[in-house]
Chain A
Amino acid sequence: MSDQLKDKHQRRERRTVKVPSDGSHGVRVKEATIRKNTDSVSIVSSMDELGHHDENTRMVVTMENTYQTAPHKRFPVPAVTHILKDVLSSYLQQEKYEVEWSQKMTKTICEVIRARVKDLMIPRYKIVVLVHIGQQAGQSMQMSSRCLWDATTDSFACYSFTNSSLFGVATVYGVYFE
């Protein structure tokens, strides 16, 4: 089995403007499929790219110096945890694990969480959202993460939800852009 993600990365077009944009990826662990579409060839882990089809017609934007040494408003961990709890509970409460449904749901939940965190309007923060949905089958699992960042400005929030047939874990990292 080859573990190579090739053309997906070469496909990234040249972008010369510094404005934040959104991109989402989904990874399916169980099914190894080879999908060819016009944009990319993915092998083993199927990666979907949504909203990544920007044109190369943007202007170059130069940002002025803000003389700001620290963020005015920090990443609000409790507020984001509340969002995660809300979203996961409402989407997964009475559901049973199904392959196709879970695949779609993972991506949907990801987008919803990202949209809601964006709505909090925390200036100069970049957001990374991670969602895992898995089947409860008596297996054991461990997830860990480590981050190299500025501990005074950056932070994360996470929440996990379980019911009898599935579990869902959502994590949001907020990274300050100096």
Chain B
Amino acid sequence: MSSESSKKRKPKVIRSDGAPAEGKRNRSDMEQEGKYYSEEAEVDLRDPGRDYELYKYTCQELQRLMAEIQDLKSRGGKDVAIEIEERRIQSCVHFMTLKKLNRLAHIRLKKGRDQTHEAKQKVDAYHLQLQNLLYEVMHLQKEITKCLEFKSKHEEIDLVSLEEFYKEAPADISKAEVTMGDPHQQTLARLDWELEQRKRLAEKYRDSLSNKEKILKEIEVKKEYLSSLQPRLNSIMQASLPVQEYLFMPFDQAHKQYETARHLPPPLYVLFVQATAYGQACAHMKSSQPPRQDKTLSVAIEGSVDEAKALFKPPDDSQDDESDSDAEEEQTTKRRRPTLGVQLDDKRKEMLKRHPLSVMVDLKCKDDSVLHLTFYYLMNLNILTVKAKVTTATELITPISAGDLLSPDSVLSCLYPGDHGKKTPNPANQYQFDKVGILTLRDYVLDLGHPYLWVQKLGGLHFPKEQPQHTVIADHSLSASHMETTMKLLKTRVQSRLALHKQFASLEHGIVPVTSDCQYLFPAKVVSRLVKWVTIAHEDYVELHFTKDIVEAGLAGDTNLYYMALIERGTAKLQAAVVLNPGYSSIPPVFQLCLNWKGEKTNSNDDNIRAMESEVNVCYKELCGPRPSHQLLTNQLQRLCVLLDVYLETESHDDTVEGPKEFPQEKMCLRLFR
């Protein structure tokens, strides 16, 4: 390059100025160096400061020359041209110096630039290296931190504790001597052990799974077997029905009953269970023959099971319907009055609704009369009611006065004292009644049956007197304890009513029927006669003037039956007003007397009447006769006749005296006149 540039310069130099070189020291350099001419090398040799001085000198010279030329030109003349020529040559030389200097400056500049460039490149390279290294450092640091933070999966595994590990792991895994010191090895060993254990457990799991499969298969097989058994059993049962009938062991029938019984509401269910149990127990006790259903007590369920099932349909639909219909009804009531009554009526009917199933119990008494009891359950009121009917073996001709004795309405009244069955025993019902405007249950009793307290107890429903009961707790123990007493009472009640029935028939004809085993209570000849026997109403009884004491003593309630008997002898007429308590033979009838004979005598003005009354009322126990004392009433009447006889005969100045009679001495009060 330098040789090329020098070759180029040579022609330049030759062409441009052929003039002698003044002050060009570089020629000397050129001669020194030989053929080629390197200005680059010259640049290194020359001092830039001196070059700068030279430049300044040259510029000055040029300026001077120019100025001289100027002057000469302006003076004009001939020789001036030579001087101008001279100066021109000098200025050309100077120009060449300037060019050289310019070239040198350029070269210097170039060199400087190159050097800077080089240095810069180096610096850049270093810089890059530095950057690279820095990056690498950073990268490594990150890697290190990552490594340091690395949590290996093995730390998430719950390893067994160290002690356990050393205890359980076999020696070749635990390598105690190595692992004790080195935690890394220890962890490795533990991981090994963990793996070992897991493998074993996986084995076991697979085994158990296969076991389970086997067992499931076995179960399937057995189920198949059983389900094929059921139809066979059914067919056996069917086949055995005729045998059951033949042997009087209606298990199937009982089974069907129990099926239906499942749909009974809880109180009826309790009643059913207890009644059946009692019936069977009685049969066992009475007969020594093979046990059979006791004929005296039979229990059956009546009613529609489907309706009962329908009661348990989802309540949502019915509630929606109700609310809709309520809304409708409200609207209509605003428009038309008459529907209010209808709506209330419907609500009442709803409240008094009965459960579709009912339990029928038939009690047979010794004389073949049967008491049919049908028990109903009122769902909304949560009470049990009963309807009763008495049928007798032979047709009864009902005497007029005995109308009420066996009527379904009153035959069971006051079985237990005070239990008249006209009021609902559940205190909560009162609030329900107020909502629909029912005053008392009395009005509906004929239709629904009587809610006696003993019926509630038989169904296990216990109503405390003070608080209303909200839940249906049907209690078996309560029912069981009452069952026996109630059944006995029922039987006695029916029998006593039937006995009364018969007695009334004959009383109405004026004959006091005294049975032969009670004849000893009375003397052989009784002259006074019963003339009349009628029923009277409760209000009439209370109005009579000689019954005030009984009424005040609270013995004449509206659950009792009232009768009037008339006994005559000669001119003496004895009126007897009788209060018959529904619990007849255990609670005696109460007599109040009024004698019309030589004036009217009652217990307030004649001691004898008082004595007669107390004779019949208080000393009734000896008139009871043989158990079950159904003869009490007739004996009392007979005793009255006897007393009247005695009274009339012991009166002094009596026209009707017939002869001496024997006096029942102990009975008559001393202060009586004899």
Q: Report if A and B associate in a common complex.
A: no
Residues of A within 8 A of B (CB): none
